[in-house]
Amino acid sequence: MSTRGPDRPNRPAKQVHLAAHFPGVNNTTVWSDPEAGSHIDFSSFVHLARTAERAKLDFFFLAEGLRLREQHGRIYDLDVVGRPDTFTVLAALAAVTDRIGLAGTISSTFNEPVEVARQLASLDHLSGGRAAWNVVTSWDAFTGENFRRGGYLAQEDRYERARTFLETALELFDSWKGDEVVADRETGRFLTHADVGAFAHHDRHFDIEGRFSVPRSPQGRPVIFQAGDSDEGREFAAARADAIFSRHSGLEDGRAFYADVKGRLARHGRTPDELKILPAATFVLGDTAAEAEERAREVRLAQVSGATAIRLLEQLWNRDLSAYDPDGPLPDIDPEPGENTVAQGRASVRMHKDPVATAREWRARAEAEGLSIRELMAEVGSRAAFVGTPQQVADEIDARVQADAADGYILVPHVTPGGLDQFADTVVPILQDKGVFRTEYAGTTLREHLGLPS
């Protein structure tokens, strides 16, 4: 099958990049599935990472959330709760895998550059060059209550501090060039010179100096991911990131995002290949298209129970809606304006820029289509990005990559830990047959897997 790009017929087919996201602490993950296993036992992480490596995926990905989410001042109990320490699990996974990249989200808000830099450099050494860092900023004093730094950062300070944090970490990685350790037993010379690892960084966020304790790691710098979607986030990514963890998994929104971000690179003296765009994508497979659609409906209903639908609605309405029937119509009152006080510890509440307008939109749609609260929430929530037979899903992934809607996808299974098994066994071989996905790892580092400059 031909996989030429539609816009540029003479361009060789792009290679697809694929990654495996450990099922998250959110309602995408269906813990009630009879197949669902532990979210904390190491064996679950091993299962998914090894499945991903067997399928030759680029990397395994682990998200982070530094405070248990709350709604109405109580810990949110309808989704999976609990997760491990990101770095510790990734370092352990390095022992039971050989090639797959090991990526994790680490907050730049509630950490110090020297600490994160030495953990990342250590992970890169311990994995033979497979480490990646998804740099996120935390936005709320709520999460800060667990940390020394605590406190709230104003929106405009948030990216500046994150930028500075990353710049500082990069300076630390670069404080060793890579040829300083000679370890010559005969002459007794261990280092080439006396001030290796020396650095100094002084600005209003970080005032630090000394010698960095981890010699240069196999990748030099771990792969840097960025996940923010705002204009500042996109600019930050264009300037510094190696990859973007985007949420634009569709064809049209994906193309718009792709064009926008790749278009920013030249201003930073970078080529389009130097930044990979990898949306998160859920998927549902079936033997026939109809079976896949039916399964996708079942999965959506499992993801959005009646109780979950009310809680999700409350996050937009910013009100207690527990008196409403999930199988009944939407509330006719408008959302409570102002700061969201109902839900805490969620990134998603920030995505509702104009709650009143969104609520009116939803209400109109529910009335027009005769949808209950639960049915509407299942519709407006994230529908699986890829639904179909393995052939259909492989074709669609390939088509979207060739159409520049993405460079590949971070696959988000909805069941732990076996949710990727079928994809690995059925979709990946089709992509390999098309010639757009590797059949063996060509390199040993994640930078090599992603085709990034070293």
Partner 1 sequence: MVSRHLHLAVALDGAGWHPAAWREDDARPDELLTPGYWTDLVAEAEAGLLDLVTIEDSLALQTSHWGRDDERTDEVRGRLDAVLVAARVAPLTSHVGLVPTVVTTHTEPFHVSKAIATLDFVGLGRAGLRVQVSTRAHEARLVGRRPVPVHGWADRDRDDVRALIRELFDEAADHVEVQRRLWDSWEDDAEIRDVATGRFVDVDKLHYVDFEGASFSVRGPSITPRPPQGQPLVVLLAHEALPYRLAARAGDVVLVTPHSDADVGRIVAEVRAAEAAVDRADPLVVLGEVLVVLGDDAAHAEARLARLEERAGRGLRTDAETFVGTAAGLADLLEARADAGLAGFRLRPATLPGDLRRITRDLVPELQRRGRFRTAYDDVGVPHRLRARFGLDRPANRYEVSR
Closer to partner 1 at the Cβ: 205 or 363?
205
- Which residues make beta-bridge pairs with 386? 283
Binding partner 1 (rule: CB under 8 A), the pick from 2, 9, 10, 74 is 74
User: CB of residue 363 vs partner 1: minimum separation in angstroms?
Assistant: 25
- Quickly count: other Cβ atoms within 10 Å of residue 269's Cβ: 8
Q: Please, which of residues 45-64 interact with partner 1 by CB under 8 A?
A: 46
Find the binding residues for partner 1 in span 145-164 (CB under 8 A).
145-148, 150
Site for partner 1 in 336-375 (CB under 8 A): none
Q: Smallest distance from the beta carbon of 118 to partner 1, in angstroms?
A: 6
Q: Name the DSSP class of 110.
A: S
Structure tokens at 17: 């990049």
Helix (H), strand (E) counts: the chain: 15, 17
Cβ–Cβ under 8 Å, residues 238 and 270: yes
Residue from 50, 54, 67, 383 in contact with partner 1 (CB under 8 A): 67
Nearer to partner 1, 85 or 294 (CB): 85
State CA 342 to chain mean position distance.
25
Report the alpha-carbon distance of residue 155 to residue 152 in Å, rounded. Answer: 9
**Piece of the chain touching partner 1 by CB under 8 A; list 1-9, 104-112, 357-365, 415-423:** 104-112
Within 182-221, the residues that bind partner 1 by CB under 8 A are: 183, 185, 188-197, 206-215
Q: How far is CA 379 from CA 111, 293, 371, in A?
A: 38, 14, 9
Q: Considering beta carbons, is residue 39 or 163 the nearer one to partner 1? A: 39
Using CB under 8 A as the binding rule, the residues of this chain from 390 to 449 that contact partner 1 are none
Among 95, 154, 323, 368, binds partner 1 (CB under 8 A): 95
How near is the Cβ of 41 to partner 1 at its closest, in Å? Answer: 7
Omega within 30 of 0 (cis) for the link into 417: yes
Which residues, numbered 235-254, are part of the site for partner 1 (CB under 8 A)?
none
Map residues 268-297 to x or -, x wherever contact with partner 1 holds by CB under 8 A: ------------------------------
Sites for partner 1 among residues 297-336 (CB under 8 A): 305, 307-308
Contact pick of 8, 12, 35, 85 for partner 1 (by CB under 8 A)? 85
What's the CA gap between 283 and 73, in Å, rounded? Answer: 33
Parallel, antiparallel, or unpaired: how do β-strands 181-184 and 189-191 relate? antiparallel
* Block residue for tokens 């509330």: 331
Q: Which of 42, 139, 152, 441 binds partner 1 (CB under 8 A)?
A: 42
CB of 44 to partner 1, least distance (A): 10
Give the binding range for partner 1 (CB under 8 A) out of 153-161, 177-185, 289-297, 415-423. 177-185
Pick from 1, 11, 32, 333 the residue near partner 1 by CB under 8 A.
Answer: 32
> For partner 1, which is the closer residue by CB, 77 or 157?
77
Judged by CB, which is closer to partner 1: 96, or 259?
96
Q: Where are the alpha helices (DSSP H) in 11-103?
A: 42-54, 86-96
- Based on the shown chain and the rule CB under 8 A, indicate whether residue 128 belongs to the binding site for partner 1: yes
> Nearer Cβ to partner 1, position 214 or 330?
214
How many residues bind partner 1, per CB under 8 A? 75
**Up-side HSE of residue 167: CA atoms within 13 Å toward CB?**
16
Three-state secondary structure along 387-453?
EECHHHHHHHHHHHHHCCCCCEEEECCCCCCCCCHHHHHHHHHHHHHCCCCCCCCCCCCHHHHHCCC
Q: Which long-range contacts (CB under 8 A, 24 or more apart) does 285-293 make?
A: 285/388, 285/389, 285/390, 285/393, 285/422, 285/423, 285/426, 285/427, 286/387, 286/388, 286/389, 287/389, 288/389, 289/388, 289/389, 289/392, 292/387, 292/388, 292/389, 292/392, 293/387
